[in-house]
Amino acid sequence: MRGGPRNNKPAALRALHRSKTRPRHRQVVEGLPVGDLEPPAGLTSVEAGLWAYYMPRLAALKILTDLDRQALTHFCICAAQVQQIRTAQQRPRAPKGLDSSLRQWLTVTRLAGAELGLSPLSRARVAPAGRQETDDLESFIQAPLRQVK
């Protein structure tokens, strides 16, 4: 085929454009939904607090599956690093180089969060087929991280 293979539309775009449904569009591969995942050993108290905040909410929205444990772990580690750097920046005589370090950790946190559907664009990619977006997800994403202890 000239120009390469054709990429199919994501389910969210098909629904938005009211595209015709074809049999291959109904085949959705999902991991097993989880009710409760234990945090991995070795997380700090801040990282475990972030895990306790995000895991039940993502599992309840059927975004988190048993296959996503490592992605959530990476997100919690990155978010904890961002909090630690921001705290260090507020101290008098903060070490130099924290701004570039913060920028790097924010980028990694954004990418790890996108894998879990924590941005508007990635939410359409990870949302299970047939599930309607809820206000719960919006309010969950808008909650500030500093409330997590």
Q: Could you list the pLDDT tens digit for every one of the 149 residues in the chain?
A: 566 666 766 777 767 777 666 655 555 545 555 667 788 889 999 999 999 999 888 888 777 777 788 889 999 999 999 999 999 988 888 888 888 999 999 999 999 998 888 887 777 765 554 455 555 555 665 565 545 54
CA-CA distance, 19 to 39, in Å (whole number)?
41
In a domain, 108, yes or no: yes
Residue 31 located in a structural domain: no
Phi-psi region of 18 (alpha: psi -120 to 50; beta: other; left: phi over 0): left
The whole-model pTM stands at 0.62
Longest dimension (CA), the chain: 62
**Residue 33 contacts by C-beta under 8 Å, 6 or more apart in sequence?**
59, 62, 64, 65
Structure tokens at 102: 């913060």
Residue 32 lies in a domain: no
Any domain includes 17: no
Is 9 a domain residue? no
Domain residues for the domain of 96 are 41-147
Q: How many domains does the chain have?
A: 1
